[in-house]
Amino acid sequence: MQRLNNTDIKYLKGVGETRAKLLADELKIKTFRELIYNFPFRHIDRSRFYKISEFNNEMPNIQVRGHFMRFHTEGEGAKRRLIGIFTDGERMIDVVWFSRIKQIKDSYPLGVEMVLFGKPNFFNGSYSFVHPEIERYDALAPQKGMRGVYSLTEKLRKRGFSNRVLQNLIDNVFDKIPDVEEILPQAVVAKLHLMPLDEALRNIHYPTSLVALQKAQERLKFEELFFVQLHILRYTKRRKFNIQGHVFSTIGDKFNRFYSEVLPFTLTDAQKRVIKEIRSDMRTGRQMNRLLQGDVGSGKTMVAFMTMLIAIDNRCQACLMAPTEILARQHYQSISQWAEPIGVNVSLLTGSTRAKQRREIHQSLIDGSLDILIGTHAVIEDNVNFHNLGMVVIDEQHRFGVAQRARLWQKNATPPHVLVMTATPIPRTLAMTVYGDLDVSVIDQLPPGRKPVMTLLRYNESRQQVISAIHRQLEEGRQVYIVYPLIHENEKLSLKSLEEDYHNVCQTFSGYNVCYVHGQMKPQEKDFQMSEFVNGKAQIMVATTVIEVGVNVPNASVMVIENAERFGLSQLHQLRGRVGRGADQSYCILMTKQQIAKETRQRLEIMTQTSDGFIIAEADMKMRGPGDMEGTQQSGLAFNLKLASLASDGQIIQLARDTADRLLESNPDLFDQTHNQCDADNTPSADLIISPKEKTILKNELKIRFNNQSDWSRIS
């Protein structure tokens, strides 16, 4: 492994300085190892040529043998394309190129036997190939059965880097390094019956059989996820062992008085359970780091408030950070209402807080007279200092990265307990990875008496009925949101835009006030428009998805989403959560065109069938892949997985997590430098003890894999 890791790719047979630079620039491959860990994104079976007559719609990439009969160009300007007529001796197909037209014609002489690789496209009643890979039949190397296909960039292709070239380079590495050293502990490989690394790496590039390929993929996926989990758990455990937290042992006067005298409703069982979980965390003397998941409207704010009361009862201050000013203000309003009767002081600090007031707040934080600070990013600024910060609540986690969280808890000698709240339901496997350093609590119950939002799928053709329905709601005094996928009109996309439709809406609903918000407005302007809706002066709000997070207007009973097919399910769910907050029946109307793909219709129908955020999140992740899930990108933790999928490899994730966990339990020195393995008062469980050499290999791997993860390394 050492040689694989450290050998510069330029020393590989067939590479040299120029190609080394190209590989580094285009594919980030600088070492032997990086070449070998550049896995194929699919495989092709070169042992068989397909006939055009065998083509069908579901075909993967396949190979066809035959020759070109003629070339001609079609179209003008940007639409100009080269068509080659290719025959397998029985039938003909079109081969299409949109670029490099001159070059292509010259490189594929007519009548010479060629092999095309690609996926047959079915278009306008016949099959064609678009930009297939092409090789002369007589130059085709004897094949070893299945081979990998690799991502190549346009530039690489231009410089003559074909898939074959890459395959050859990989073969050259394996010739040079006949036996790649195992990086997983032997005990793990044996116990889980994993394919050894050397065998797995060879089989992922050129599988000896389909079964071998699967075993290789399994092993490499496990390896990938295992190191992610080891990395996360190592950090988490180090934090748990080394960082002292506040010990909140008492449930005091404020909490009890609030509970018995002020609390305006009965807590749901889920809220009670979560408060208990949090309370027991805060007693341990370790810093709490907990993720609180709860669907929109599940009552997270109350849980947050009661948690803050525990801190206050233990002579500490609390801070709540929200992603937007509007949200911060709404929290401030509800929380000060609850806090006032029990004599708890609350202040609001945002970007628009005046200097004088800001100074007063700073002062009251330092002298300890302020109990709760609510605000936006402004609360993490350097000049905000606390007397004794004991509890931090972060609302809508996905807007904050791990590092920002850390800034808050560095504000105190003893780091405060941290509760992160999110309404984005996160599938378990994703949570385990993306928020792997947090313990998770779930509020899986809505307060009683809520009427589920009725969700309807409507086509543009029946817009008139939708308009009438909205009119009826407006006449009853309700308010309405209309959401658009775009702010401005865009020629290329035939989508409704806010700007374009705003005047239509004003006309259609003349007699009502229409306000609008979108992401390109100045914050003050946005706030003003938003407040028009919040205080009921405007009855209709047209908006983009900026309203997705947090706004609470119980009187709003209709949410119309234009071009609903353009939104992800989780996003639709978040938007829908803006209505159904009052006692009245609410509606969410998903507008779309009649002609949409079957999958799109199925996706939208999920919305009409369930209001369970977790079901929706799972479905969303399955359909779109976790990369698109809200929150994963911004979390600062979206590990780039090469092989494994957070959406479909849940079992392997669990296995990787358990294995990493047991490994760290058995070998505490792996996460804690100060920890000696023979520590008398902390005898490790003997479950999975590994050799010093294996430890060195693991640590080395972690370094290679995660050194660039700035967010983590900065705080661990």
* Torsion, CA 11, CA 14, CA 20, CA 26, rounded to 10: -140
The span from the CA of 619 to the CA of 582, in Å, is 28
Q: Nearer Cβ to ligand ADP, position 322 or 569? A: 322
Q: How far is the CB of 371 from ligand ADP (least distance, A)?
A: 19
Contact segment (CB under 6 A) with ligand ADP among 39-47, 216-224, 263-271, 407-415 equals 263-271
Q: Considering only CA atoms, which of 32, 45, 29 is closest in space to residue 171?
A: 32
Q: What's the burial of 704, exposed, middle or buried (CB within 10 Å: 0-12/13-18/19+)?
A: middle
130 sits near ligand ADP (criterion: CB under 6 A): no
Q: Considering only CA atoms, which of 702, 606, 703 is closest in space to residue 228?
A: 702
Give the SS3 label for residue 65: strand
Q: Nearer Cβ to ligand ADP, position 116 or 553? A: 553
Q: Nearer Cβ to ligand ADP, position 330 or 659? A: 330
Pairing of strands 346-349, 417-422: unpaired
Q: In Å, how far are 392, 527, 548, 575, 586 from 556, measured between CA atoms?
A: 31, 18, 14, 12, 8
Length of the chain: 716
Helical residues (DSSP H) of 580-673, grouped into ranges:
598-609, 613-624, 650-666
Contact segment (CB under 6 A) with ligand ADP among 267-275, 350-358, 469-477, 633-641 equals 267-275
290 sits near ligand ADP (criterion: CB under 6 A): no
282: CB partners within 8 A, 6+ apart: 245, 246, 247, 248, 288, 310, 311, 417
Question: How many helices (H) does the chain have, and how many strands (E)?
Answer: 25, 22
Q: What's the burial of 495, exposed, middle or buried (CB within 10 Å: 0-12/13-18/19+)?
A: middle
Q: How far is the CB of 581 from ligand ADP (least distance, A)?
A: 6
The span from the CA of 560 to the CA of 253, in Å, is 46
Q: Nearer Cβ to ligand ADP, position 207 or 299? A: 299
Contact segment (CB under 6 A) with ligand ADP among 176-184, 262-270, 359-367, 620-628 equals 262-270
Q: How far is the CB of 301 from ligand ADP (least distance, A)?
A: 3
The answer to whether 291 and 441 are in contact (CB under 8 A) is yes
Among 296, 530, 549, 644, binds ligand ADP (CB under 6 A): 296
Q: Nearer Cβ to ligand ADP, position 196 or 554? A: 554
Q: What's the burial of 482, exposed, middle or buried (CB within 10 Å: 0-12/13-18/19+)?
A: buried
582 sits near ligand ADP (criterion: CB under 6 A): no
Q: Nearer Cβ to ligand ADP, position 306 or 643? A: 306
The span from the CA of 93 to the CA of 114, in Å, is 14
Q: Nearer Cβ to ligand ADP, position 294 or 485? A: 294
Contacts 24+ apart (CB under 8 A), 170-178: 170/35, 170/36, 170/205, 172/12, 172/13, 172/14, 173/4, 173/12, 173/32, 173/35, 173/36, 174/36, 174/201, 174/202, 174/205, 175/13, 176/12, 176/13, 176/32, 177/3, 177/4, 177/32
Helix or strand run (H / E) with residue 560? strand 556-561
365 sits near ligand ADP (criterion: CB under 6 A): no
Q: Nearer Cβ to ligand ADP, position 203 or 271? A: 271
Contact segment (CB under 6 A) with ligand ADP among 122-130, 295-303, 672-680, 695-703 equals 295-303
Total binding residues toward ligand ADP, as defined by CB under 6 A: 16
Q: How far is the CB of 422 from ligand ADP (least distance, A)?
A: 10
Q: What are phi and psi of 10, to 5 degrees?
A: -70, -20
Q: Nearer Cβ to ligand ADP, position 38 or 330? A: 330
Q: How far is the CB of 533 from ligand ADP (least distance, A)?
A: 17
Q: Nearer Cβ to ligand ADP, position 447 or 523? A: 447
203 sits near ligand ADP (criterion: CB under 6 A): no
The span from the CA of 510 to the CA of 481, in Å, is 16
294 sits near ligand ADP (criterion: CB under 6 A): yes
Q: At what angle do helices 300-313 and 325-339 cross, to 10 degrees?
A: 60
Q: Nearer Cβ to ligand ADP, position 320 or 431? A: 320
544 sits near ligand ADP (criterion: CB under 6 A): no
570 sits near ligand ADP (criterion: CB under 6 A): no
- Look at the alpha carbons of 556, 448, 591, 422 in this order and tell me if their dihedral is positive or negative: positive
613 sits near ligand ADP (criterion: CB under 6 A): no
Q: How far is the CB of 702 from ligand ADP (least distance, A)?
A: 37
**Amino acid at residue number 416:** P
Among 11, 122, 265, 528, binds ligand ADP (CB under 6 A): 265
Contact segment (CB under 6 A) with ligand ADP among 132-140, 147-155, 265-273, 599-607 equals 265-273
Q: Nearer Cβ to ligand ADP, position 54 or 269? A: 269
Site for ligand ADP, residues 298 to 327, rule: CB under 6 A = 298-302
Which residue has the CB atom at the shortest distance from ligand ADP? 299
547 sits near ligand ADP (criterion: CB under 6 A): no
Helical residues (DSSP H) of 320-462, grouped into ranges:
325-339, 355-366, 402-409, 428-434
Site for ligand ADP, residues 428 to 447, rule: CB under 6 A = 447
423 sits near ligand ADP (criterion: CB under 6 A): yes
Site for ligand ADP, residues 54 to 113, rule: CB under 6 A = none
Among 20, 251, 267, 454, binds ligand ADP (CB under 6 A): 267
- For tokens 């201050």, name the residue: 317
Residues binding ligand ADP (CB under 6 A) = 265-268, 271, 294, 296-302, 423, 447, 552
